[in-house]
Structure formats: C-alpha cells, structure tokens
Chains A and B, each alone.
Chain A
Amino acid sequence: MSRQKQAASSVATETQLIARAQRGDEEAFAALFEAHKRRVYSLCLRMIGNPTEAEDLTQEAFLQLFRKISTFRGESAFSTWLHRLAVNVVLMHLRKKGLNQISLDETENSQGEPIKRDYGDEDRRLVGSIDRIGLNRAIAELPPGYRTVFILHDVEGYEHNEIAEIMNCSIGNSKSQLHKARLKLREWFKEHQGEQPKRSPAHAANESKESE
C-alpha cells in the first residue's frame, strides 16, 4: 500500500473508532488509547521529567479527550486535538507548580546577537557524542516554551502548522522558538562536553544499564 493509501486507511479506521467511542464502545476507547498512548506519554514525560507525574498527566489528557469525544467533529486531525489537550494539561500543571512560562508570543531580545561559536579545533564537534541520556537532560533544562516546540517538532515530528494549532501561536513563532531551542541545546552540549554522562533523575529509571 502506498504511504498515502496507508494514511488514508488508518484515518478511516480512526474515524470508525471515534464514532464507536462516541457511542460508548469500550473497545474503541481502548484502541484509541493504544494508538496514541506512547506519543502522549512521551510528550508528557519529556515536558515534565517525572514518570509518575507524566502518567498522571497522560491519564488526565485522555480522560479529558474521552469525556469530550462527542464534540469531535473532525475539523482537525484527531491526534492534533489530542496533543493539544495533552500540551495544555502539561502547561497547566507547570503553571500550578509555579514555574515560569515563556509565552510563545513573546519576542525575544536575542534576535540581533551572534550565535556563540567554537573557534577551537574540529575535535569538539558534537557529532557522535550526543547520547540519549544527555539529550533528555538537555531537553529537560530548556525553558518550557522552547521545550514544547522542540519536542513536538524534532522529537515527535509535527510540522509547524500543526504545532501552531496545538500551541495556539503563529507559525513564525513556532519556527523561531524551534531554532532557539536547538541553539540552546547546542550550548548545553558544549558546556557539558567531556563530562561523564550523568543520569537525570527522570530518566535514570528508564535508561540505566542501556547497552551501547
């Protein structure tokens, strides 16, 4: 089956599942959960850093979705709707915890500043030295706004127009936040280059004893 056909076929199946869920079919709820749980949970986990909280938030996102499923009319892709819910649940949670939010519509002053560069030797390239644990740590240390866009785009593969819908911001904002997120991550790796890979508390449980 061509990719387009596959995509179309899975949308058709999902449409059926949504219709069944709207009628209270438990199996349909379960199937929708199964289809999206990993993306939602991974998103929450990377945003929050704590598996327990991430599970709570995943649960909350799905519950909100399922409670409202009768109102879904297919105006946007189901997964976009779900991810928007999930992102909102996470951001709300962060707000409650009193963490500073960077609104995605704020423009930053850093526009004119030159990007930091390494004028040292070529051995300090990052290629080949970015490990999963380090990347997770680096992502965890990004400000929430950058973190969200980076996760949605570079990790989860959403396009900017989808991110704009999810985050309720402009496409331009999404692009600029992404760029800044990547630069910040690069800075992080530069600062931590040469360190023994430490385990972040959030991911130690999931990633200890990984074999290379």
Chain B
Amino acid sequence: MLVPAGLLMAAGPGSTEKDIPTSPTPRVSISNVAGKVVVKGWDRLRIHVAYTIVSPNTAVDTEQVPPQGAADKVRFLTYTTDRTEPVPNPTVDYVLQVPTGASLEIQNPQGSVQTDSVRGDISVESLGGNVSIVDSAGHLSIRSVAGNIEVIRPAGRVEASSINGNLHFVNSTSQRLRGNTTSGTILYEGDFVPGGSYVLSDYSGNITILCPPSASFELDAKTVRGKLDNQFPMVPRGPKSFLPPGNSIFGTQGGGKATLEVTSFSGTIHIRQQ
C-alpha cells in the first residue's frame, strides 16, 4: 500500500527533507550504521527522503548519477564528521518514498529495515536489526546475523539468511524461496505456487509450515536429531535406499506441484494445515 504524501514524517530538528527526480527504476542505496530505515514505494517519479540525524558528529552524504536531471542511481551514506573522535554507532533514521519500480541496496548493521511496495530487486544487510519486507516483486536478498527477518507477500525470488534471528514468510507467490537460520525459527505461512521451489533450513530452531489443506507439494523433510510432525496425508515416495540417518519424510501431497525441502539438525519440523 502506498503512503500518501501527507503522512510523511515532518522534518524536525536535525531533520532534512529532499526531493530527487528519478527515472522509473532508479537504483537506490542506503549505507547506514544504526537507526531505522523505512522505504515505501509510490507512483511518483522522484525520491522523497527525510532523514533525522540522531548521534552527534554524524552527517549524511547524498550522491546521484547523473548529477542533473532524472537520477538513475542515488546513494545515501551515513558518516562520522570528526575523524579524531569517531562515533561508535552513527545513528540516522531514514524515511524514503521511492518509485515503485526502484531497486534497493540497504546496509544498516545496527538498525532495522522496513520496505513496502517496492517492486525492484531488494538487497538488505543487517547485523542486529530486524528486517521487514512487504509486497516486493523483485529478487530479495536479505542477510542478518541476529536480526529477525519477515517477508510478506513476496512475488519474486527470495533468499533470506540469519544466524540467530527468526524467519517469517507470509503468503508468498514467489517461484523460488530460500530461508536459512542457525538458531532461529522459521515460520512459513501460506500456499505454494505450482512449479515453485522452497528450501527452508535451520539448525536448532523449529520450522513450522502452515499451509492450506489444498496445498500441492512434494516434500523432502529431514532432521538429524529433531522430530517431524506432519498433519498432511501424503503419498510416500522416494527411493528405498539412501535414507539419511535421523527422521525424514519424503512424500507427495495434493499432486506435488511445488517442491519443498525442509531441513533441521535438531529442531522440530511441523507441517500443519491452516
């Protein structure tokens, strides 16, 4: 859903607002350290940015290519102004509105990232902050160490990876979705697209799949030490030899139109009907 201009955060003290005309599909990059980054798609051919500098000795540099006219590339960079006493976590809060066709590259190690209705490719790198991507259509690539990752209604390819964070996927229409976490949990809610390929993997957390009774998928689920809890009446398939040690289910459900690979080392894998 696009945010009407009127709801945009007004620039307060320490806040700056800018408008940058762009092409319909600009590449926008934000290199921040801490603070919030919020990006929403709209139907105008310009970027409207409002940023608030929170930490001292911190500034934002804006670059665009080409320098005049409608920009194809725009970059926002957070940096420390005092080299003698660098700020440990330069903190800036960004709120941007970008053309829906924009692609995004966002680095925000200590802060959170949210995007909504941006339909180009999106790449997000975070350390500790949570990431939330809503209504994307392009290739999504999200990496975090501790942050939770939430992806709602993606239509393009998805690759999401965290070490300690949880992954949450809702109502994906993506043809190809990959999610990986080490100690976090994975929750996948929604149906599977015919011909789609889904790979969900974690180490010790639980993986829960909640899909409609009419879902159609071929399942490869395996764990080394964990348990498997499956509510679907699958048709078993798979070769009789080469069963890996641990618990596994290889089955076809409802025609097997999508492929679903779910792996956990010691977590429990739940496959349940919505």
Contacts and interface: CB of A to CB of B under 8 A. Distances in A.
Interface of A: 51-52, 55-56, 59, 204-210
B214 to A, nearest CB: 8
Nearest to A203: B255
B255 A55 contact: no
Contacts of B240: 52, 56
27 contacts: A51-B237, A52-B236, A52-B237, A52-B239, A52-B240, A55-B238, A55-B239, A56-B239, A56-B240, A56-B241, A59-B239, A204-B235, A205-B235, A205-B237, A205-B252, A205-B255, A205-B256, A206-B252, A206-B255, A206-B256, A207-B255, A208-B254, A209-B214, A209-B216, A209-B254, A209-B255, A210-B255
* Secondary structure call for the B interface: loop
Contacts of A52: 236-240
A182 to B, nearest CB: 29
Nearest to A208: B255
Interface in B229-249: 235-241
Interface string B204-241: 00000000001010000000000000000001111111
Q: How large is the interface on B (under 10, 10 to 19, 20 to 34, 35 or more residues)?
A: 10 to 19
A207 B239 CA distance: 20
B195 to A, nearest CB: 13
Nearest to B216: A209
A55 B216 CA distance: 20
A56 B243 CA distance: 12
B96 to A, nearest CB: 42
Contacts of B254: 208-209
Q: Which 3 A-B pairs have the closest CB atoms?
A: A205-B252, A205-B235, A208-B255
Nearest to A55: B239
A204 B235 CA distance: 10
